[in-house]
Amino acid sequence: MRIALLLLLSVSMGTTLPALAQSFENSGSPATVVELFTSEGCSSCPSAEAVLNQLKESDGLWTQVIPMAFHVDYWNDIGWPDRFSKPDFSQRQRQKVSQSSASGVYTPGWFINDQEWRGFFARQSVPYANGPAASVLKASVNGNTLRVDYAGNERLNANFALLAMGLTTEVKRGENRGKTLEHEFVVVDFDAKAGQRHWQFVLDEDTIETPSAIAVWLTPQGGGDPIQTVAGWLEP
């Protein structure tokens, strides 16, 4: 994977988005996409997040594995509102359960390359490996605009996520009352749209936390393993 930084000043200097235009490119194989659906109100979620957090130290981070934590909102009325949660993330989990015939909507809920993974409950390590080689994928961030370009001709869904790192929350109520939770790979902005070869997204300029990384992945329109991925650290 080749990551190029285009050192162009952005006009959006006052936002939480990077002040430099940046470009990320992958001309090799896609990484494994790991999605954890979690909540600060769920007592069994901190142990799952601890496993996800460990992937930060992986030599294959971004090139072999792209971890993401989607905080759902359906725990919010049971004692503790999760500040990272969004209704869209809960809906994404429901859609993935429907598409993959997963066992249900629950937390912690793991999906690896769009398939439910229950190995966490058997204390298995998160499995990941590069997929088959694919055409070049390039993601360019300039201010609040993300442009995605793919050299292949398939009609695909383009997905992106902005990820915040190194976060903590002191929980005052609910099942995790009294705990200090540590979060990595928190999704603070996400969108997906169908298309072919070229996509453009408007990024949220006022995310709840400043994003530290970006992930982009292309998937078949009916769901399935990512066709191509690219991800990396954002320059501050």
Domain ranges within the chain, ordered by starting residue: 2-233
CA nearest 234: which of 140, 130, 137? 140
Question: What is the rounded radius of gyration, in angstroms, for the C-alpha atoms of the chain?
Answer: 17
- What does the pLDDT read at residue 186? 98
Q: What percent of the chain has pLDDT over 70?
A: 92
Residue type, 131: G
Q: In this structure, how many other beta carbons lie within 10 angstroms of the beta carbon of residue 1?
A: 17
Q: Note the pLDDT tens digit of each residue in 95-109.
A: 999 988 799 999 999
pTM here?
0.92
Whole-angstrom distance, CA of residue 115 vs CA of residue 110: 8
Q: Which residue has the higher pLDDT, 54 or 2?
A: 54
Secondary structure (3-state) at 14? coil
Residue 180: Cβ-neighbour burial (10 angstroms; 0-12, 13-18, 19+): exposed
Q: Note the pLDDT tens digit of each residue in 178-218.
A: 999 999 999 999 999 999 999 999 999 999 999 999 999 99
